[in-house]
Amino acid sequence: MKKFLIIIALALSVAACGIYSFTGTNIQPDVKTITIPYVEYKAIRVNPSLSNDMTEALQDKFRKLTSLEQVDEDGDLELVCEITGYDVSATAVTANEVAAQNRLTVTVKIEFTSRKYPEDDVSKSFSAYEDYDSNNSLDAVEAALCETIIDKLVEDIFNATVAQW
């Protein structure tokens, strides 16, 4: 019992210092706000709901896993994201040279800026993909594929910015 109490006290003191949290974030204690503007869509191929879905997913992730207040402008942190690629390609071809499987790939570029700690700034591109059977049309599977791809991208972006993995 004594060891258990020591472990709990140690865990609480580490979490209380504000530099580490149990969600894996690495945010300085004096950083209080974040700005996540609407995700711009700059890909050639169009998906009309992807920008909105990506924006909401990013905002939800930061809301749930950090104590940062989301503000419309001039946050201590700013995460600007744009969708630069939305592509479908064949990944498996049959003996008859027909695609057996297709891949939907989404590419995003981020600019993460810390107004208080510029050394934490990140400028990076991320891609994620999902494969689907070519017997299905993209229209039939697009929503489910995009949901999974967005989850992967948001996790990667979160880890590269405030988790700094």
Q: Any idea where the domains of the chain sit in the sequence?
A: 30-161
- pLDDT tens per residue across span 88-145: 998 877 666 677 899 999 999 999 999 999 999 999 999 999 999 988 999 999 999 9
Q: What is the DSSP letter of 128?
A: E
Cβ burial, residue 4 (10 Å; 0-12/13-18/19+): exposed
As a whole number of angstroms, the distance between CA 92 and CA 109 comes to 28
pLDDT at 100: 83
Mind giving me the DSSP string for 55-71? HHHHHHHHHHH--PEE-
As a whole number of angstroms, the distance between CA 41 and CA 84 comes to 7
Between 155 and 24, name the one with better pLDDT.
155
As a whole number of angstroms, the distance between CA 39 and CA 46 comes to 14
- Distance set, CA 26 to CA 16, 30, 55, 89, 158 (Å): 13, 12, 22, 37, 11
pLDDT at 165: 57
pLDDT at 3: 53
Q: What is the DSSP letter of 38?
A: P
What's phi and psi for 116, nearest 5 deg?
-95, -25
pLDDT at 112: 97
pLDDT at 21: 43
CA nearest neighbour of 67 among 36, 23, 113? 23
- pLDDT tens per residue across span 4-59: 444 554 444 444 444 444 446 778 899 999 999 999 999 999 999 999 999 999 99
Q: How confident is the model at residue 1 (pLDDT cuts 50, 70, 90)?
A: low
Three-state DSSP class for residue 107? strand
**Cα torsion 49, 50, 55, 57: sign:** positive
- pLDDT tens per residue across span 52-71: 999 999 999 999 999 999 99
CATH 3.30.160.150, applies to 30-161: yes
Residue 8, both tokens: 């709990």
Would you say residue 154 has pLDDT above 90? Answer: yes
* Cβ–Cβ under 8 Å, residues 49 and 142: no
Cα angle at 152 between 60 and 130, to 5 degrees?
135
pLDDT at 152: 98
